[in-house]
Structures are given as C-alpha cells and as structure tokens.
Amino acid sequence: MNLVNLPHPNKYLIVESLDYPNPYDFKVPHRHDYFEIILIKEGIGNQQIDFASTKLQPNSIYTIYPRQIHLLQRNTAQGLLVQFQKNIFEHLFPIQHHQLYFTNPELLLDDRDFQHLYNLVEQILLLNKSPQLTPLSIYKSYSYLQLVLITLIEYKQQNIKTFPNVLPMFLQLISQHIKDKRKVSDYAEILGVSNDKLTTTCKDFLDTTPLKLIHEELLLEIKRLMILNELSLKEIAYELNFDNSANFSNFIKTATALTPSELQQQLLIQLNNSEYF
C-alpha cells in the first residue's frame, strides 16, 4: 500500500475543512506519511484506523500517526483536519513525535474543552489563509499546534502507558541517545528484548524497522542543528559522533539525495522564504 503524501509538500502544517477536496482517493483504506488530527464538531460518520472502526461523534478528536491504515466516511460529519509532517517537531520542543502514538486514537470531550481546542485550530486555519505570512505568524501557528498537542497528550497520558511497552520506550530512547547509539542491538539490550522482538514490534505497529526509525531520528537531529546554524558541518558531524566527514556525507546523501551543504542550504532557504508552513 503506497503512502499518501502531504498535499502541500513545501508546508509543514495544514488545516482544512473536513469536506475539502482530497487530492487522493480517500474512499478506500490508505496510509499517510504525516500526522493527522481530526476534530468532529457535529454530524455523524464512521472512522477506521488500523482496522478498528468507530462511529464519529460530536466533540470527538482522532489522532492518526504516519503509516496507520485509515478510512474516514464523513456522511454528515463537519469539522477540521490538521495535517503536519514529522519535521515540524524540529520547532515544537519539548514535544516529540512518539508522544502522539496513542493506543486509542479517539478522544471525547465536553463542549467547553472541545471548543477550546477547536478555536486554536481555527486560528491556524486563519493564518494559513493569509496571502503573506511573516516568520512570526508561522511560529505563532506552531505555538497554537503545540498547545493542541500538549492538551491531547495530557488527556491521553494513561493511554500512552498502555501502548505496547517496548515501543514507546524504544522511541523515547532513540531521542535521548541518538548522538551515541545507532545500532538496533544497543536499544534491544537496554530494553531487555531480542533484536527480533524489537523488529517485530516496530513492523507490527509502525510498519517499519527499528533501524529506519533510528535513521529518521538521526536525520531529524542533523536538520535541527543545521537550522540553528551555530555549528559548521564538520562540527555537526563531530557532535553526532560520526567517525569522519565522509560517513556523515554518505548518510545524508543516502537519506536525502543531497550533500550536507545542499541540505543545509535548502533548509535555510525554506526558513527564510517562510516555507515551513
């Protein structure tokens, strides 16, 4: 099953009405390569996430993380969609992407709490419609998203704890030790599981491998340091414990088809041209 890409690849954050014209066939099960949060304000419909089906209800919020199988039947449901790439977490510290891997994707709220989050998302939508966004406006939108995500994580904290234990622990360890641990066996040893067990869990729940997740986190940290523009490329390689500049360059080339300098230039141009929104 092919991954559905974010409709606007030059933007990190998109908000749409629930009935917006999808650029892909949304009527069949599919997978996204981005996060999606669905806020149902009123009406009815059905939702399928990783084969678990639920009926849409007013004041409900659904969180879909990358690679989950997803099918939304809107019927009369009205609301908003929030779509964002994993890259956005470069700007949402201290929130990390693995905190959005909820066991139960559905959250039902009372009128007041739901409306509060809905209003924040509407503010992002209004900013998104602006013909000329300033860098400050873009970061304001990220701040609104950050408030939404922090609130969802707080509501879901107990559900995070019931997610298969090894997976959230592994994802958290990657974030903590990406500078000095690159082997799957390193993390399997800390977690007290076999390499095969860790690999099977990642494939079953995230449809990917532990090594790919390690490489994704490493690339994300490289991009963060490049955007900060406080270290030279050679210093970034040293900071992240690459053996030499050649290995650093090869890793980036394999992951992005760009050289380190080309990647940094692209990131800084996007930042200066306000293309992160």
Nearest to 50 by CA among 26, 67, 33: 67
Average pLDDT over residues 71-84: 92
Residues 220-246: tens digit of each pLDDT: 889 878 877 789 999 999 999 999 999
In the CATH scheme, what is the code of domain 166-272?
1.10.10.60
The pLDDT score that the predictor gives to residue 136 is 86
Give the C-alpha separation, 270 to 135, whole Å. 11
Return the ∠ at Cα 267 (arms to 91 and 16), rounded to 5°: 55
Instruction: Provide the token pair at 158.
Output: 């107990």
Specify which residues 40 forms β-bridges with: 60, 79
The pLDDT score that the predictor gives to residue 32 is 82
Q: Return the domain boundaries, the chain.
A: 3-162, 166-272
The pLDDT score that the predictor gives to residue 213 is 93
35-42 and 60-64: which strand pairing?
antiparallel
Residues 125-163: tens digit of each pLDDT: 999 888 777 888 888 999 999 999 999 988 877 544 445
Phi/psi for 119 (5° steps) reads: -65, -40
Give the C-alpha separation, 182 to 211, whole Å. 8
- Domain 3-162 belongs in CATH node 2.40.50.180: no
Give the C-alpha separation, 238 to 259, whole Å. 17
Global model pTM greater than 0.95 = no
Average pLDDT over residues 170-192: 91
Is the confidence at residue 69, as pLDDT, over 90?
no
